[in-house]
C-alpha cells in the first residue's frame, strides 16, 4: 500500500516525502511548566516554632502544626477530633528540652513565680532530656502528655487544666484501641471537670456551662454511669440558653443510651 500522499509532486521539485504525514500523531504532551500536585504528608504539615521557656528562660524549638493544614473530618461524641493527614492533638504539648517544663499550648505562658520555683525544684532537678523524632507516634505523644500532667500537678494547676490533659490522653489511647487506659483517663477527666464545674468560672478550657454539662454527660456514659449521663444530658435539653446544635447532640446521645439499654435488656431476657 502506497502511503505517499504527495506522489506526483516530484515534477514540482518536492521529493522524499514518503514519510510525511498529513496530521501529527497524538502524543501525550506534558507542559514543562506544569506543577504536579504532591500528596501532602504529615511532615509537610509541621514546622519548628521557637519558644522562650518561662521556667529556664532558654530558647527552644517545638514541632507545630501549620495553620490550615489540618482538615477536620468529624468529631466523636466527647469532641475527640478526627483530621485528614495529621492529628494536631499529638503536637499540642510544648516541652522544653532543657528543664522539662511541659504544658498544653494554650497554657504555656500561664505561670506564676511560685509555680516556676516548684517546677524547677521538682521537675527540672530530675528531668533527663530526650531527643524526639520530627514525626510523633501516638505513644510519643502520650509520653509528652503525661509529663505535662505531672507538671500540672507540681505547679498546682486548675483542676480543669488537669482534666483537659486527661481527656486528651484518653483520646490518644482510643486511637491505639487501648480501652482500659482510655477509660482510666476518662474517669480522671470526669472527676476533674465535675470539680471545675462547681469551683471555677466559665469558660472552662474554652467551654461554656452547657458544653461542659454535655461533655460530662458523655463522660458518664463512656465510663458506665448511664443514670448520671442521662441527668446531665437532660439538663442541657431543658436549658433555654443552650444552643440548638448542642441540644441535638445531647438528644442523639440520649437516644444512643436508650438503644443500648434496650439491647442490654433483650440480651438479659434471652439468657
Question: What are the DSSP calls for 66-134, one per residue?
Answer: PTT-PEEEEE-TT--EEEES--GGGG-EEE-TTT--EEEGGGTT---HHHHHHHIIIIITT----PPPS
* CA–CA dist 268, 155 (Å, integer): 49
Assess if residue 229 is contained within a domain. Answer: no
- Check the CA dihedral 89-92-95-101 and report its sign: negative
Helix (H) or strand (E) holding 235: helix 226-238
Q: What is the DSSP letter of 14?
A: -
Pick out the chain residues at pLDDT < 50.
none
pLDDT of residue 17: 72
Residue 181 in contact with residue 171, Cβ under 8 Å?
no
Assess if residue 95 is contained within a domain. Answer: yes
User: Is the preceding peptide bond at 203 cis, omega within 30 degrees of 0?
Assistant: yes
* CA–CA dist 18, 54 (Å, integer): 82
The count of domains in the chain is 1
Assess if residue 6 is contained within a domain. Answer: no
pLDDT of residue 8: 65
Assess if residue 2 is contained within a domain. Answer: no
Nearest to 212 by CA among 227, 198, 226: 198
pLDDT of residue 15: 75
Q: Which domain holds residue 92?
A: 46-162
Assess if residue 76 is contained within a domain. Answer: yes
Quickly tell me which residue has 514525626 as its cell: 135
Assess if residue 265 is contained within a domain. Answer: no
Q: What is the DSSP letter of 3?
A: -
Assess if residue 29 is contained within a domain. Answer: no
Amino acid at each position: 500500500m502506497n502511503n505517499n500522499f504527495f506522489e506526483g509532486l516530484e515534477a514540482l521539485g518536492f521529493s522524499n516525502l514518503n514519510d510525511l504525514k498529513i496530521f501529527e500523531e497524538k502524543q501525550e504532551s506534558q507542559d514543562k511548566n506544569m506543577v504536579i500536585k504532591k500528596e501532602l504528608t504529615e511532615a509537610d504539615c509541621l514546622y519548628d516554632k521557637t519558644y522562650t521557656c518561662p521556667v529556664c528562660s532558654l530558647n527552644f524549638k517545638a514541632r507545630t502544626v501549620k495553620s490550615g493544614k489540618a482538615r477536620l473530618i468529624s468529631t466523636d461524641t466527647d469532641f475527640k477530633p478526627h483530621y485528614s493527614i495529621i492529628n494536631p492533638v499529638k503536637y499540642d504539648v510544648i516541652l522544653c528540652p532543657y528543664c522539662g517544663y511541659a504544658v498544653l499550648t494554650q497554657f504555656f505562658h500561664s505561670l506564676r513565680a511560685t509555680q516556676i520555683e516548684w517546677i524547677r525544684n521538682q521537675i527540672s532537678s530530675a528531668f533527663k532530656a530526650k531527643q524526639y523524632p520530627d514525626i510523633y507516634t501516638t505513644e510519643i505523644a502520650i509520653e509528652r502528655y503525661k509529663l505535662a500532667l505531672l507538671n500540672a500537678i507540681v505547679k498546682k494547676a486548675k483542676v480543669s487544666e488537669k482534666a483537659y490533659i486527661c481527656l486528651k490522653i484518653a483520646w490518644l489511647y482510643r486511637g491505639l484501641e487501648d480501652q482500659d487506659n482510655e477509660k482510666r483517663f476518662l474517669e480522671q477527666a470526669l472527676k476533674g471537670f465535675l470539680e471545675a464545674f462547681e469551683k471555677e468560672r466559665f469558660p472552662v478550657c474554652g467551654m461554656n456551662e452547657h458544653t461542659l454539662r454535655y461533655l460530662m454527660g458523655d463522660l458518664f456514659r463512656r465510663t458506665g454511669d448511664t443514670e448520671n449521663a442521662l441527668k446531665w444530658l437532660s439538663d442541657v435539653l431543658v436549658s433555654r440558653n443552650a444552643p440548638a446544635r448542642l441540644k441535638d447532640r445531647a438528644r442523639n446521645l440520649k437516644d444512643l443510651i436508650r438503644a443500648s439499654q434496650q439491647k442490654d435488656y433483650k440480651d438479659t431476657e434471652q439468657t
